[in-house]
Copies of this chain bind each other. A is one copy, B any other.
Amino acid sequence: MTLKKKTSRSGSGTTMAEVAALAGVTKMTVSRVLRHPEKVNPDTRKRVTTAMAELGYIANRLAGGLNAGTSGLVAAIVPTLRHSLFADTLEGISDVVSEAGLGLFVSSSAYRSDVEESQIRSILERRPDALMLTGLTHTKAARDLLRGFGIPVVETWETGDDPVDMAVGYSNREAAHAMTAELIRSGYRRIAFVNGPAENNERARHRAEGYLAAMKEAGLSAPPIHVVHDEAAIRPETGAKAIRVLRQQSDIDAVFFTSDIFAVGAILACRELGIDVPAQLGIAGFHDLDVGRVVSPTLTTVQVPAMEMGRKAGHMILARLAGKRLATHRQDLGFSIISRESTRRPH
């Protein structure tokens, strides 16, 4: 038998016109049933809904969106999904925007602004209604692109002076400052600082600044910052390695890691090396991950509002899409210092 040009791809292919034909109306009426049901006579409406059910009709949002010039999509770019922190942020924004009927488009940039830029380009081709970014570091081209495009953009995980549009985060500088001060308060003096690479990551840079400022204010000299490069993922072994290097280099009495993962690796290494934490060496981390609660001694760390930043970003986006002018484009959600055993220095 001869196939018609338009093979009915069953369900997936059913169009409004087919539904209309079956119900004996035009597609405009079908469209009304979906969009403004009150404007359609109940009997007709019934006929149409029956026809839709019979054919298993599924509306095509692409078509509708083309008309409306919108996609119903919120895009989010995170450095990686393999870090529970960013996944928490995504869960937060997902919760909020999906409530509003918007979908979440996700991509991960591997901590690279150039990758991020190319992702932004391809994301904009999908005409998202809004965009969530991680951090404030973007290529100039990316910033221009976003500014020109005009959709709401929220940057997360850091607060700063010159957001592309809106920002929600906490101050990594203050957080690192506060933790350093906490270590000093606990009696530590020769405090080393272990950071990730700061070039493409203003969070790391700001934390370094906070640390240095706190040391300076206390009149302490800061040992050289130890930078660790973790390729694929952030691994505890890297923290362990840092400990071995540091204790040969200088007579430090505490180490402040900018990730709990590193800090925990360090604690385990100290156990092996016979270094008493916290008596001989205080150890602090960052992010308040599960591991820090479980390791012994438990880890002093900085708690950050990972999920809350996502939720807040979602709310800001929704508010803007609803046409509201926001009172503030920048939200600082703060952080808190969680003091646990790893810095409880006996005196």
Give me the interface of A with B, judged by CB distance under 8 Å: 9-12, 56, 58-63, 65-66, 71-73, 80-82, 84, 87-88, 90-91, 94, 98, 101, 103-108, 121-127, 145, 148-151, 236, 261, 264, 268, 289-291, 293-296, 307
Task: Given the known inter-chain contacts A11-B149, A65-B62, A91-B82, please indicate yes or no for A103 contacting B105, CB distance below 8 A.
Answer: yes
The reply to whether B126 and A236 form a contact with Cβ atoms under 8 Å apart is no
Closest beta carbon of chain B to A344's beta carbon, Å: 17
The reply to whether A127 and B261 form a contact with Cβ atoms under 8 Å apart is no
Complex Cα distance, B12 from A126, in Å, reads: 11
6 closest pairs, A vs B, by CB?
A: A11-B148, A87-B87, A81-B91, A61-B125, A12-B149, A81-B87
The reply to whether A106 and B94 form a contact with Cβ atoms under 8 Å apart is yes
Task: Given the known inter-chain contacts A84-B84, A88-B82, please indicate yes or no for A296 contacting B293, CB distance below 8 A.
Answer: no
Can you report 6 A-B residue pairs in the complex whose CB atoms are below 8 A from each other? A12-B149, A82-B88, A82-B307, A236-B293, A291-B294, A294-B294
Chain B residue nearest to A11 (CB atoms) is B148
Closest beta carbon of chain B to A103's beta carbon, Å: 6
Chain B residue nearest to A98 (CB atoms) is B107
The reply to whether B94 and A58 form a contact with Cβ atoms under 8 Å apart is no
Taking each of A62, A71, A73, A80, which has the highest tally of chain B beta carbons within 10 Å of its own beta carbon? A62
Complex Cα distance, B39 from A168, in Å, reads: 47
- Report B-chain residues with C-beta under 8 Å of the C-beta of A123: 103
